[in-house]
Amino acid sequence: MNIGFIGLGNMGAPMARNLIAAGHHVTGFDTAANPDGIPCAASVQEAARDADVVITMLPNGDILRAVAADIHPAMRNGSVHLDCSTVDVASARDVAQAAETAGLSAVDAPVSGGIGGATNGTLTFMAGGDARAFETVSPLFDIMGQKAVHCGDAGNGQAAKICNNMILGVTMIATCEAFVLADKLGLDRQAMFDVVSTSSGYSWSMNAYCPAPGIGPQSPADNDYQPGFAAALMLKDLNLSQMAAQAADADTPMGQAARDLYAQFVEEDGMGDKDFSAMLPRFAARSRP
Ligand code: NAD
Protein backbone atom coordinates (compact mmCIF):
# COMPACT_ATOMS: atom_id res chain seq x y z
CA MET A 1 0.00 0.00 0.00
CA ASN A 2 0.91 3.64 -0.33
CA ILE A 3 0.76 4.99 3.21
CA GLY A 4 0.99 8.58 4.46
CA PHE A 5 2.18 8.73 8.08
CA ILE A 6 1.65 12.00 9.96
CA GLY A 7 3.12 12.43 13.44
CA LEU A 8 6.48 10.68 13.72
CA GLY A 9 7.07 11.01 17.46
CA ASN A 10 7.81 8.37 20.10
CA MET A 11 5.02 6.12 18.84
CA GLY A 12 4.59 7.13 15.17
CA ALA A 13 8.22 6.70 14.09
CA PRO A 14 8.60 3.05 15.15
CA MET A 15 5.14 2.22 13.78
CA ALA A 16 6.08 3.75 10.42
CA ARG A 17 9.39 1.84 10.41
CA ASN A 18 7.56 -1.46 10.93
CA LEU A 19 5.32 -0.70 7.93
CA ILE A 20 8.38 0.08 5.79
CA ALA A 21 10.11 -3.12 6.94
CA ALA A 22 7.01 -5.07 5.86
CA GLY A 23 7.33 -3.68 2.32
CA HIS A 24 4.81 -0.82 2.32
CA HIS A 25 5.61 2.49 0.67
CA VAL A 26 5.49 5.08 3.45
CA THR A 27 5.67 8.87 3.10
CA GLY A 28 5.95 10.58 6.46
CA PHE A 29 5.36 14.10 7.71
CA ASP A 30 6.00 15.77 11.07
CA THR A 31 6.22 19.46 11.95
CA ALA A 32 9.21 18.88 14.27
CA ALA A 33 10.65 15.37 14.06
CA ASN A 34 12.70 14.00 11.15
CA PRO A 35 13.45 10.44 12.21
CA ASP A 36 15.97 8.20 10.45
CA GLY A 37 14.80 5.73 7.86
CA ILE A 38 11.43 7.33 7.08
CA PRO A 39 11.16 9.24 3.78
CA CYS A 40 9.31 12.50 4.46
CA ALA A 41 7.27 14.88 2.30
CA ALA A 42 7.66 18.66 2.34
CA SER A 43 4.04 19.24 3.32
CA VAL A 44 1.26 17.38 5.08
CA GLN A 45 -0.84 17.45 1.90
CA GLU A 46 1.97 15.89 -0.11
CA ALA A 47 2.25 13.02 2.41
CA ALA A 48 -1.49 12.38 2.03
CA ARG A 49 -1.99 12.91 -1.72
CA ASP A 50 -1.25 9.47 -3.24
CA ALA A 51 -1.97 7.38 -0.18
CA ASP A 52 -4.38 4.46 0.06
CA VAL A 53 -4.30 4.98 3.83
CA VAL A 54 -3.19 8.03 5.81
CA ILE A 55 -2.25 7.25 9.41
CA THR A 56 -2.17 10.04 12.00
CA MET A 57 -0.40 9.65 15.36
CA LEU A 58 -0.76 13.06 17.01
CA PRO A 59 -0.81 14.56 20.52
CA ASN A 60 -4.46 15.61 20.89
CA GLY A 61 -7.89 16.21 19.36
CA ASP A 62 -7.33 19.86 18.38
CA ILE A 63 -4.22 18.97 16.39
CA LEU A 64 -6.00 15.99 14.84
CA ARG A 65 -8.89 18.25 13.73
CA ALA A 66 -6.46 20.76 12.18
CA VAL A 67 -4.47 18.05 10.37
CA ALA A 68 -7.68 16.38 9.14
CA ALA A 69 -8.88 19.71 7.68
CA ASP A 70 -5.56 19.98 5.81
CA ILE A 71 -5.34 16.42 4.49
CA HIS A 72 -8.94 15.42 3.67
CA PRO A 73 -9.19 17.70 0.60
CA ALA A 74 -5.85 16.33 -0.65
CA MET A 75 -6.68 12.62 -0.19
CA ARG A 76 -7.84 10.34 -3.02
CA ASN A 77 -11.54 9.54 -3.13
CA GLY A 78 -12.21 6.26 -1.30
CA SER A 79 -8.96 6.26 0.66
CA VAL A 80 -8.91 5.74 4.44
CA HIS A 81 -7.92 8.10 7.25
CA LEU A 82 -6.70 5.84 10.09
CA ASP A 83 -6.17 7.82 13.31
CA CYS A 84 -4.17 5.98 15.97
CA SER A 85 -3.79 8.95 18.37
CA THR A 86 -5.53 9.00 21.75
CA VAL A 87 -8.05 11.86 21.53
CA ASP A 88 -11.48 12.79 22.90
CA VAL A 89 -14.45 10.86 21.54
CA ALA A 90 -16.07 14.02 20.12
CA SER A 91 -13.00 14.89 18.01
CA ALA A 92 -12.81 11.31 16.72
CA ARG A 93 -16.50 11.38 15.69
CA ASP A 94 -16.26 14.86 14.09
CA VAL A 95 -13.15 13.88 12.11
CA ALA A 96 -14.87 10.69 10.90
CA GLN A 97 -17.87 12.74 9.78
CA ALA A 98 -15.59 15.19 7.97
CA ALA A 99 -13.84 12.28 6.24
CA GLU A 100 -17.16 10.88 5.05
CA THR A 101 -18.22 14.28 3.72
CA ALA A 102 -14.94 14.42 1.78
CA GLY A 103 -15.60 11.01 0.17
CA LEU A 104 -13.19 9.12 2.43
CA SER A 105 -13.51 6.45 5.13
CA ALA A 106 -12.26 6.87 8.67
CA VAL A 107 -11.15 4.50 11.41
CA ASP A 108 -10.23 5.64 14.93
CA ALA A 109 -7.85 3.09 16.41
CA PRO A 110 -6.03 4.21 19.55
CA VAL A 111 -3.43 1.80 20.87
CA SER A 112 -2.26 0.25 24.05
CA GLY A 113 1.24 -1.15 24.49
CA GLY A 114 3.36 2.01 24.64
CA ILE A 115 6.69 2.69 22.95
CA GLY A 116 7.84 -0.91 23.46
CA GLY A 117 4.72 -2.21 21.72
CA ALA A 118 5.17 0.30 18.88
CA THR A 119 8.81 -0.75 18.40
CA ASN A 120 8.19 -4.48 18.59
CA GLY A 121 4.98 -4.44 16.54
CA THR A 122 2.94 -5.77 19.46
CA LEU A 123 0.39 -2.97 19.97
CA THR A 124 -3.29 -3.62 20.65
CA PHE A 125 -5.66 -1.53 18.51
CA MET A 126 -9.19 -0.61 19.62
CA ALA A 127 -11.02 0.44 16.48
CA GLY A 128 -14.18 2.33 15.60
CA GLY A 129 -15.56 2.99 12.13
CA ASP A 130 -17.29 1.14 9.32
CA ALA A 131 -16.54 -2.54 8.84
CA ARG A 132 -15.19 -2.22 5.29
CA ALA A 133 -12.65 0.42 6.27
CA PHE A 134 -11.64 -1.76 9.25
CA GLU A 135 -11.05 -4.68 6.82
CA THR A 136 -8.95 -2.45 4.56
CA VAL A 137 -6.58 -1.42 7.33
CA SER A 138 -6.50 -4.79 9.14
CA PRO A 139 -3.29 -5.96 7.39
CA LEU A 140 -1.60 -2.83 8.79
CA PHE A 141 -2.82 -3.67 12.30
CA ASP A 142 -1.25 -7.12 11.85
CA ILE A 143 2.13 -5.51 11.14
CA MET A 144 2.06 -2.80 13.82
CA GLY A 145 0.33 -4.88 16.47
CA GLN A 146 -0.69 -8.26 17.79
CA LYS A 147 -4.42 -7.67 18.19
CA ALA A 148 -7.13 -5.39 16.80
CA VAL A 149 -10.68 -5.30 18.11
CA HIS A 150 -13.44 -3.68 16.06
CA CYS A 151 -15.57 -1.94 18.70
CA GLY A 152 -18.32 -0.52 16.46
CA ASP A 153 -18.98 2.87 14.92
CA ALA A 154 -16.75 5.93 14.72
CA GLY A 155 -15.40 7.02 18.10
CA ASN A 156 -15.90 3.62 19.73
CA GLY A 157 -12.18 2.87 19.60
CA GLN A 158 -11.54 5.98 21.69
CA ALA A 159 -14.45 5.05 23.97
CA ALA A 160 -12.94 1.60 24.60
CA LYS A 161 -9.50 3.07 25.28
CA ILE A 162 -10.65 5.61 27.87
CA CYS A 163 -12.93 3.12 29.63
CA ASN A 164 -10.03 0.65 29.86
CA ASN A 165 -7.63 3.29 31.13
CA MET A 166 -10.15 4.63 33.63
CA ILE A 167 -10.30 1.11 35.15
CA LEU A 168 -6.49 0.96 35.05
CA GLY A 169 -6.04 4.31 36.84
CA VAL A 170 -8.57 3.39 39.52
CA THR A 171 -7.17 -0.12 40.13
CA MET A 172 -3.60 1.14 40.26
CA ILE A 173 -4.51 3.70 42.92
CA ALA A 174 -6.50 1.09 44.88
CA THR A 175 -3.57 -1.35 44.69
CA CYS A 176 -1.07 1.30 45.83
CA GLU A 177 -3.15 2.51 48.75
CA ALA A 178 -3.83 -1.07 49.84
CA PHE A 179 -0.06 -1.76 49.93
CA VAL A 180 0.42 1.30 52.13
CA LEU A 181 -2.37 0.24 54.48
CA ALA A 182 -0.78 -3.25 54.60
CA ASP A 183 2.61 -1.67 55.45
CA LYS A 184 1.08 0.29 58.30
CA LEU A 185 -0.71 -2.79 59.62
CA GLY A 186 2.58 -4.72 59.67
CA LEU A 187 1.66 -7.02 56.77
CA ASP A 188 4.65 -8.08 54.67
CA ARG A 189 4.43 -6.88 51.02
CA GLN A 190 5.29 -10.32 49.64
CA ALA A 191 2.53 -11.91 51.73
CA MET A 192 0.14 -9.21 50.60
CA PHE A 193 1.02 -9.95 46.95
CA ASP A 194 0.75 -13.71 47.43
CA VAL A 195 -2.74 -13.37 48.88
CA VAL A 196 -4.22 -10.62 46.67
CA SER A 197 -2.78 -11.89 43.37
CA THR A 198 -4.64 -15.16 43.92
CA SER A 199 -7.74 -13.70 45.61
CA SER A 200 -10.63 -11.49 44.59
CA GLY A 201 -8.52 -8.30 44.80
CA TYR A 202 -6.37 -9.40 41.87
CA SER A 203 -6.03 -7.17 38.83
CA TRP A 204 -3.57 -6.40 36.04
CA SER A 205 -2.12 -3.65 38.27
CA MET A 206 -1.32 -6.15 41.03
CA ASN A 207 -0.57 -9.30 39.05
CA ALA A 208 1.21 -8.06 35.92
CA TYR A 209 2.53 -4.62 36.90
CA CYS A 210 2.96 -4.77 40.67
CA PRO A 211 3.75 -1.25 41.99
CA ALA A 212 5.89 -2.58 44.90
CA PRO A 213 9.62 -2.94 44.10
CA GLY A 214 10.95 -6.49 44.25
CA ILE A 215 7.50 -8.04 44.40
CA GLY A 216 5.77 -9.94 41.58
CA PRO A 217 6.95 -9.85 37.96
CA GLN A 218 9.48 -7.28 36.72
CA SER A 219 7.80 -3.86 36.45
CA PRO A 220 8.79 -0.16 36.43
CA ALA A 221 8.80 -0.31 40.27
CA ASP A 222 11.98 -2.40 39.93
CA ASN A 223 13.61 0.36 37.88
CA ASP A 224 13.02 3.38 40.12
CA TYR A 225 9.62 3.91 38.47
CA GLN A 226 11.03 4.84 35.06
CA PRO A 227 8.11 4.52 32.61
CA GLY A 228 6.53 2.23 31.38
CA PHE A 229 3.45 4.31 31.19
CA ALA A 230 4.15 7.84 32.38
CA ALA A 231 1.83 9.42 34.96
CA ALA A 232 1.34 12.39 32.58
CA LEU A 233 -0.13 10.06 29.94
CA MET A 234 -2.40 8.44 32.53
CA LEU A 235 -3.61 11.93 33.50
CA LYS A 236 -4.28 12.70 29.81
CA ASP A 237 -6.45 9.58 29.48
CA LEU A 238 -8.29 10.21 32.77
CA ASN A 239 -9.03 13.76 31.64
CA LEU A 240 -10.44 12.37 28.40
CA SER A 241 -12.57 9.88 30.35
CA GLN A 242 -14.04 12.68 32.48
CA MET A 243 -14.69 14.89 29.43
CA ALA A 244 -16.57 11.99 27.87
CA ALA A 245 -18.43 11.19 31.11
CA GLN A 246 -19.57 14.79 31.38
CA ALA A 247 -20.71 14.92 27.75
CA ALA A 248 -22.58 11.60 28.09
CA ASP A 249 -23.96 12.33 31.59
CA ALA A 250 -22.32 9.20 33.06
CA ASP A 251 -21.76 9.09 36.83
CA THR A 252 -18.07 8.10 37.28
CA PRO A 253 -17.01 9.11 40.82
CA MET A 254 -14.03 6.73 40.99
CA GLY A 255 -12.78 7.91 37.59
CA GLN A 256 -13.10 11.50 38.80
CA ALA A 257 -11.21 10.73 42.03
CA ALA A 258 -8.44 9.00 40.05
CA ARG A 259 -8.23 12.00 37.71
CA ASP A 260 -7.91 14.38 40.65
CA LEU A 261 -5.18 12.30 42.32
CA TYR A 262 -3.14 12.01 39.10
CA ALA A 263 -3.63 15.76 38.49
CA GLN A 264 -2.09 16.47 41.92
CA PHE A 265 0.67 13.95 41.29
CA VAL A 266 1.59 15.39 37.89
CA GLU A 267 0.81 19.10 38.23
CA GLU A 268 1.57 19.78 41.91
CA ASP A 269 4.13 17.08 42.78
CA GLY A 270 5.89 17.31 39.39
CA MET A 271 5.90 13.52 38.94
CA GLY A 272 4.53 13.38 35.38
CA ASP A 273 7.69 11.73 34.02
CA LYS A 274 7.54 8.88 36.54
CA ASP A 275 5.63 5.70 35.89
CA PHE A 276 1.98 5.86 36.93
CA SER A 277 2.66 3.12 39.52
CA ALA A 278 4.83 5.61 41.47
CA MET A 279 1.60 6.40 43.32
CA LEU A 280 2.82 3.76 45.82
CA PRO A 281 5.79 5.76 47.21
CA ARG A 282 3.56 8.86 47.10
CA PHE A 283 1.00 7.27 49.41
CA ALA A 284 3.76 5.68 51.52
CA ALA A 285 5.27 9.11 52.23
CA ARG A 286 2.00 10.60 53.47
CA SER A 287 -0.25 10.47 56.47
CA ARG A 288 -4.02 10.54 56.38
CA PRO A 289 -5.18 14.06 55.34
P1 NAD B 1 4.92 12.51 20.65
O2 NAD B 1 4.70 13.86 21.23
O3 NAD B 1 6.23 11.82 20.83
O4 NAD B 1 4.61 12.55 19.06
C5 NAD B 1 3.65 13.37 18.45
C6 NAD B 1 4.27 13.91 17.16
O7 NAD B 1 3.30 14.68 16.47
C8 NAD B 1 5.46 14.86 17.43
O9 NAD B 1 6.61 14.38 16.74
C10 NAD B 1 4.99 16.20 16.88
O11 NAD B 1 6.03 16.98 16.31
C12 NAD B 1 3.98 15.76 15.85
N13 NAD B 1 3.03 16.80 15.48
C14 NAD B 1 2.41 17.70 16.30
N15 NAD B 1 1.60 18.50 15.57
C16 NAD B 1 1.73 18.10 14.27
C17 NAD B 1 1.15 18.52 13.06
N18 NAD B 1 0.27 19.53 13.02
N19 NAD B 1 1.50 17.90 11.91
C20 NAD B 1 2.39 16.87 11.93
N21 NAD B 1 2.98 16.41 13.07
C22 NAD B 1 2.64 17.03 14.21
O23 NAD B 1 3.72 11.61 21.21
P24 NAD B 1 3.64 10.00 21.22
O25 NAD B 1 4.17 9.48 22.51
O26 NAD B 1 4.17 9.49 19.91
O27 NAD B 1 2.05 9.81 21.27
C28 NAD B 1 1.24 9.97 20.10
C29 NAD B 1 -0.19 9.60 20.48
O30 NAD B 1 -0.22 8.25 20.95
C31 NAD B 1 -0.79 10.46 21.60
O32 NAD B 1 -2.14 10.71 21.28
C33 NAD B 1 -0.64 9.58 22.83
O34 NAD B 1 -1.61 9.85 23.80
C35 NAD B 1 -0.83 8.20 22.23
N36 NAD B 1 -0.20 7.12 23.01
C37 NAD B 1 1.07 7.25 23.47
C38 NAD B 1 1.64 6.21 24.21
C39 NAD B 1 3.05 6.31 24.74
O40 NAD B 1 3.44 5.44 25.54
N41 NAD B 1 3.84 7.29 24.31
C42 NAD B 1 0.89 5.04 24.47
C43 NAD B 1 -0.39 4.93 23.95
C44 NAD B 1 -0.93 5.99 23.21
The C-alpha atoms of residue 283 and residue 204 are separated, in whole angstroms, by 20
Residues in Cβ contact with 8 at an 8 Å cutoff, skipping those fewer than 6 apart: 16, 28, 29, 30, 33, 34, 35, 38, 40, 57
Question: Nearest-CA neighbor of 39 among 55, 57, 16, 9?
Answer: 16
Query: What is the 262 CA–ligand 1 centroid distance (Å)?
Result: 20
Query: What is the 60 CA–ligand 1 centroid distance (Å)?
Result: 8
For 32, which DSSP code? S
Residue 33: per-residue pLDDT: 87
Q: How far apart are the first and last CA of the chain?
A: 57
DSSP 193-222: HHHHTTSTT--HHHHTS-SSTTSSS--GGG
Q: Is the CB of 11 under 6 A from ligand 1?
A: yes
Contact 59/85 with Cβ under 8 angstroms?
yes
The C-alpha atoms of residue 184 and residue 244 are separated, in whole angstroms, by 37
Residue 264: per-residue pLDDT: 98
| Per-residue pLDDT reduced to its tens digit, 12-25 | 999 999 999 999 99
| Per-residue pLDDT reduced to its tens digit, 168-181 | 999 999 999 999 99
The C-alpha atoms of residue 63 and residue 61 are separated, in whole angstroms, by 5
The C-alpha atoms of residue 49 and residue 45 are separated, in whole angstroms, by 6
- Cα Rg of the chain, angstroms: 20
Residue 212: per-residue pLDDT: 98
Instruction: Let me know the angle formed at the C-alpha of 226 by 224 and 228, rounded to the nearest 5 degrees.
Output: 130
Looking from the CA of residue 11, the nearest atom of ligand 1 is 26
Q: Is the CB of 67 under 6 A from ligand 1?
A: yes
Residues in Cβ contact with 21 at an 8 Å cutoff, skipping those fewer than 6 apart: none
Residues (pLDDT < 70) of the chain are none
Q: Is the CB of 111 under 6 A from ligand 1?
A: yes
Q: Give pTM, 2 decimals.
A: 0.94
Query: What is the 183 CA–ligand 1 centroid distance (Å)?
Result: 39
For 58, which DSSP code? -
| Per-residue pLDDT reduced to its tens digit, 105-143 | 999 999 999 898 999 999 999 999 999 999 999 999 999
